[in-house]
């Protein structure tokens, strides 16, 4: 639905009047009520729920809060952080990435120490 809307629209707004002006909130609320009634959706269903779900899914897929902030048009990172609800699996993957990075750093540090030890040994032999 949004893909065809984007293709066919000449407006920068998702919900716009014909003259590229945003749809009035009262008009949007009326349209929302009509669609909800026709589709027999519960009164608790809100358009905001779709936005929240989309932004939450981005967060669940690993999108950082700063990127979500740009996509959503938030002016504050605090607002965007509300959409990031890391699942236990996401937290586990983050810890695994950290452990892997730590192991790589440790191997690199050992190589550097070995090179330093070798350089000192060569220097001692040369003295």
Burial 36-53 (b: 16+ CB within 10 A, else e): beeeeeeeeeeeeeeeee
**Its pTM surpasses 0.75:** no
For the chain, the structural domain boundaries read 1-45
Query: Please, which contacts does 28-34 make with residues 24 or more away whose CB atoms are closer than 8 Å?
Result: none
Q: Is the CB of residue 82 less than 8 Å from the CB of residue 56? A: no
Distance CA 39, CA 37 (A): 6
**Mean model confidence pLDDT for the chain:** 81
Stretches in the chain below the pLDDT threshold 70? 1-2, 5-6, 19, 113-127
């Amino acid at each position: 639905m949004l893909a065809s809307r984007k293709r066919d629209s000449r407006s920068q707004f998702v919900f716009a009047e014909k003259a590229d002006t945003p749809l009035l909130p009262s008009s949007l609320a009326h349209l929302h009520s009509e669609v909800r009634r026709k589709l027999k959706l519960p009164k608790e269903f809100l358009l905001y729920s779709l936005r929240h779900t989309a932004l939450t899914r981005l967060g669940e897929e690993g999108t950082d809060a700063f990127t979500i902030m740009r996509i959503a048009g938030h002016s504050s990172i605090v607002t965007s952080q509300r959409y990031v609800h890391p699942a236990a699996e996401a937290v586990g993957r983050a810890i695994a990435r950290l452990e892997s990075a730590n192991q790589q750093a440790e191997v690199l540090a050992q190589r550097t120490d070995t090179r330093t030890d070798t350089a000192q040994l060569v220097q001692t032999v040369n003295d």
